[in-house]
Copies of this chain bind each other. A is one copy, B any other.
Amino acid sequence: MDVTATHSEAACRGVSEILSRVGDKWTIQVVVALRSGSRRFNGLKREVNGISQQMLTRTLKTLERDGMVERAVRDTTPPQVEYTLTPLGHSLSDTARQLAQWATQHRDRIAENRERYDSRRMAEDEG
């Protein structure tokens, strides 16, 4: 297999697609909340801080469609719906952890860079 595959345009767009899929505001947080086991709808809503009903519904539906999450309905009253991470979902969460490490490692550095950049811009605008 060609080692340059990950440099090709197609591969690159593939990553971009995955990233924009996974890089929305809630997907990763929901996946992470599901790592330790199944959750029900309102349980997730409580655990993922700040998410609206609407966005939780959308996020779960997309995750289900992609095969990252399994939805199991227990037909009781009131109805109980359990969401569980599939193996594919777990593998995503592992990869996300890699990114989490990068993020936490460089977060401060990036924040510094931004401050420096912004204050420099401020100075230029005034000068």
Which A residues lie at the B interface, using CB under 8 A?
5-7, 9, 11-20, 22-26, 28-29, 32, 35, 49, 64-67, 88, 91-92, 95-104, 106-107, 109-110, 112-114, 117-118
A104 to B23, CA, bound (A): 17
How far apart are the CA atoms of A103 and B15 in the complex, in Å?
6
Residues in chain B near residue A65, CB distance under 8 A:
113-114, 117-118
Choose from B7, B16, B35, B97 the contact partner of A25 (Cβ within 8 Å): B16
Residue pair B15, A96 in contact (C-beta under 8 Å):
yes
Assess the A28–B12 pair: CB atoms within 8 A: yes
Find out whether the CB atom of A106 lies under 8 angstroms from the CB atom of B88: yes
